[in-house]
Amino acid sequence: MACLALTGLLLAASPGAGEEVGSYVVTGDAIMEPLVGGKGDPARGDALISDRQRSLCTLCHSGPFPDAHLHGTLAPDLTGVGARLSEGQIRLRVVDMKRLAPNTIMPSYYRVADEEGRRVATVWRSKPILTGADIEDIVAYLTTLKG
């Protein structure tokens, strides 16, 4: 019975390149628990989403963010994403979209991808793109986008 209860509950293991920074538990298509500490700060998440140097989100995604003419068209619009997806589902998608769509172009934000041949530039080596706290802020903000 215990086995059944654990079905769909996998300990994070990288399907492709690199290693995760912190450990987390994937349940179905979601990560239920925050990566670090408690809830993120939606106001910080709001600012971070539009930061084209740091989070890069709007290079690919459009949504209810400033400077619409600079939003990319490579990815789904994030308007209403908080109504379509649960908090845990959003968290897994930002942490490691490749787990759900192995060939996706969306970077895995909470992964270190610097093994042989990847040529990760020195300044970015051994670091995930965003920290756990950054991701929690973004998740907290995206869950507020109800439509």
What would the DSSP string read from start to end of 84-102?
A: HS-HHHHHHHHHHGGGTST
Q: How far is the CB of 2 from ligand HEC (least distance, A)?
A: 32
* Residue 106 makes contact with ligand HEC by CB under 6 A: yes
Compute the distance between CA of residue 39 and CA of residue 106 in angstroms, rounded to an integer: 24
* Residue 56 makes contact with another protein by CB under 8 A: yes
Kindly state the tokens that stand for 112. 């270190």
Q: How far is the CB of 125 from another protein (least distance, A)?
A: 8
Compute the distance between CA of residue 75 and CA of residue 62 in angstroms, rounded to an integer: 8
| Contact partner, 42, from ligand HEC, another protein, none, Cβ < 5-8 Å per class | none
Residues 116-145 that bind another protein (CB under 8 A): 117-122, 124, 127, 129
Compute the distance between CA of residue 124 and CA of residue 91 in angstroms, rounded to an integer: 22
* Residue 140 makes contact with ligand HEC by CB under 6 A: no
